[in-house]
Amino acid sequence: MIRICIILVIALYLSLYIPTNLQANWNSLDSTTHALISRGLNLTYINEYADALNIFEELITRHPNEPMGYLGAATVYQTILRNYRTRTYETAYDSLLSLSIRVGESAIRTDNNNVLAYLYLGGAYGYRGLYNMRKHQWYSALKDGWRGISRLKKCIDLDAELYDAYFGLGLYHYWRSAKANVLKFLPFVDSKQMGIDEIQLAIAKGRYSSVQGKFALIYVYYDEQQYDEALAIAHELHRLFPNNASCQYMLSRIYEQLGEWQKSRMYFTQLLTHLESSEYTTTGYLIECHYRLAQCLLHLGESDTALIMIEKAMLLRTHHDPAAEINGPLEDVDTIVEAAEKFYHEITSKPTAHFSK
pLDDT one-digit tens code per residue, 282-294? 999 999 999 999 9
Q: Are residues 94 and 185 in the same domain?
A: no
CATH value at residue 37:
1.25.40.10
Q: How far apart are CA 233 and CA 215, in angstroms?
A: 8
Quick one: pLDDT at residue 186?
Answer: 60
In a domain, 238, yes or no: no
Q: Are residues 14 and 148 in the same domain?
A: yes
Quick one: pLDDT at residue 16?
Answer: 30
For 135, residues 6+ apart whose C-beta sits below 8 A from its C-beta are: 326, 327
- The torsion angles phi and psi of 181, rounded to 5 degrees, stand at -65, -25
Q: 166 and 198 in contact (C-beta within 8 Å)?
A: yes
Q: Are residues 329 and 353 in the same domain?
A: yes
Q: Are residues 91 and 186 in the same domain?
A: no
Closest CA to 272 of 313, 326, 229, 239: 313
Q: How far apart are CA 189 and CA 121, in angstroms?
A: 25
In a domain, 322, yes or no: yes
Quick one: pLDDT at residue 9?
Answer: 33
Closest CA to 176 of 212, 138, 147: 138
- Among positive and negative, which fits the CA dihedral 169, 174, 177, 181? negative
Q: 6 and 73 in contact (C-beta within 8 Å)?
A: no
Instruction: Please state the pTM of the whole predicted model.
Output: 0.87
How many domains does one find in the chain? 3
Q: How far apart are CA 329 and CA 222, in angstroms?
A: 11
Q: Are residues 194 and 335 in the same domain?
A: no
Q: 282 and 324 in contact (C-beta within 8 Å)?
A: yes
Q: Are residues 130 and 247 in the same domain?
A: no
Quick one: pLDDT at residue 313?
Answer: 97
Low-confidence ranges of the chain (pLDDT < 70): 1-28, 182-188, 351-357
Q: Alpha helices of 187-244 — where are they, by DSSP H?
A: 192-205, 210-223, 227-240
Quick one: pLDDT at residue 243?
Answer: 95
Q: How far apart are CA 194 and CA 190, in angstroms?
A: 9
**Which of 109, 133, 154 is the C-terminal boundary of a domain?**
154
Q: Are residues 124 and 40 in the same domain?
A: yes
Q: Are residues 209 and 74 in the same domain?
A: no
86 residue type, one letter: T
Range of the domain at 207: 163-224
Burial of 50 per CB tally in 10 Å (0-12, 13-18, 19+): exposed
Closest CA to 232 of 248, 213, 251: 251
Q: Are residues 2 and 51 in the same domain?
A: yes
